Every structure is written in C-alpha cells, then in structure tokens.
Amino acid sequence: MEHAVREEQGNLVVSFRGEVDLEHSPKARAVLLGCVERGRDVFVDLSGVSYIDSSGVASLVEAFQASRKKGLKFALVSVNAAALRVLELARLDKVFTIHESLPEGDRGGA
Amino acid sequence: MPETRPKRVLQLRFPARAGELKRVRDALRERLEGCGCSDKSCADIVLAIDEACQNIIRHAYRGESDQAIELEVERRGDRLVFTLTDEAPAIDPSRVKPRDLEDVRPGGLGTHFIRRVMDEVEFLQPASGRGNLLRMVRRID
C-alpha cells in the first residue's frame, strides 16, 4: 500500500494505492487519524485501492467518527468498484459521504 | 457421478501472520478464476477467506504466530468447499457471531463478510482432535 497526502483548497486529500489489508491498515489508520488531528476537512481518494478488507474499512470508520467529533467533514472520493463492493457488504455505502470526484471549488462539498 | 467427485483446487499452509495474507489471496484468486468464478464472486470469496484467516490470527492465535494456518479448497460439482484449520486452542464457536451493522463502529465486520459471502459456514472438530476447523461452502457463480 502506498499513500500520499496533499492540501487542496484548505482541505486534506489522502490518496491510497494498492491493498489496504491487515498488514497495512495500521499505517492507513495512523495517516487518516493524523489528518483529522490537523483539524481539516478530509477527502480520502480510493481510486487506486485494488483491495480493502475489514481492517481497512475499520480505519475509515474510525477516522470518520473522529472527524465528526471535531465537527469536521470526512468524505470518500472516487471509490472504485472493488472498494465500493466491500463498503456495500458492510452497509457503509450509505453511512459515508461518497463523491465521484473531488468537489471543485467547494469547501463545503463534504 | 464423476462431476461430484471432490477435486482439490488449492492447498496452502502458511504462518499465521498478516504479511502472508497477500500471497494467500493471490493464489486463491488465480485458482478461483480457473474454476470459472465471476470477477465479483472471486473478489467476494477472496475477501471472506482473508477475513477468516484474520479471525484465526486475531482470535485463535491471539496475535501473529509462526504456527500454521492451512487452507484447502475442493470443488464438488458446482460448489467450492473451503476448510481452514489451525493449531490454536479451541475457540467457542458461539462467540464468533456477526454484529449488528446498525451500530456503526470500526471493528467486527469480518465475520459479517464471511456470512454474507458464503452459503454455509460451520465449525467442525478437526480430525487431529486439536485446533479449530472452519468449513465454508460457496456455490460457483
């Protein structure tokens, strides 16, 4: 799994690539919670994620809940079919805010 | 009937470590494709087996271990039979239950995924008399 964090219009955009599995989800969790800790709205780009398991999904849920506690926005972006299927199995596809792409020029997009 | 005679699809023995699971997923995916499973079925089954292995690592071995997990896949007609055995102390199968998904929280999804994907899931007594044996069945589609 690889990841990158960038700033875009005052938000943090976290991109993951590859497999977010039991071996790598602790890193994903740390990256996501670190972004929330910075007090910014977070967009998680999952377009490059070829596989995600329950531990990866748990990292997303934990960061989502941490964001809510801080009154911040947390959204998933460009969720590919593989990741979306797992979110559907977990019935989280209706819990997360999911955007097809990054909202352009819309800081309140999440 | 020859088509119902069990045919071994895959047998893997590996240490109960997170770093082993990618290799297991890749090998399983390749064999499932060879059995004629659709892309969606392959992805679902690979997820379910991965989650079952994770449950063994986390709950049976109580963390990563050099002790083994064995995965065996057999084809019986239009069904695939998966058995996962370990050498850990026996677990209480009644405690391995999917949780209520209405309660949105980070953990506890793995068992739910297994139950959603597999047509049959049961814990059996291993022939050796020790460890755990999880048997799962999924129709090929």
- Whether the CB-CB separation of B11 and B72 falls below 8 Å is answered with yes
Subunit contact A86:B47, Cβ cutoff 8 A: yes
Quick: pLDDT tens for B83-108: 999 999 999 888 887 887 778 887 78
Subunit contact A22:B25, Cβ cutoff 8 A: no
pTM here? 0.93
| Phi, psi for A17 (deg, rounded to 5) | -130, 145
Q: What is the ipTM of this complex?
A: 0.92
CA A52, CA B110: separation in Å to the nearest integer? 12
Nearest Cα neighbor of B55 from B125, B121, B2, B8 is B121
Packing angle between helix B110-117 and helix A81-89, nearest 10 degrees?
100
Q: List per-residue pLDDT tens for chain A, 110 residues long.
A: 999 999 999 999 999 999 999 999 999 999 999 999 999 999 999 999 999 999 999 999 999 999 999 999 999 999 999 999 999 999 999 999 999 998 776 444 44
Quick: pLDDT tens for B41-62: 999 999 999 999 999 999 999 9
For an interface test with B, which of A36, A50, A54 has the most B Cβ atoms less than 10 Å from its Cβ? A54
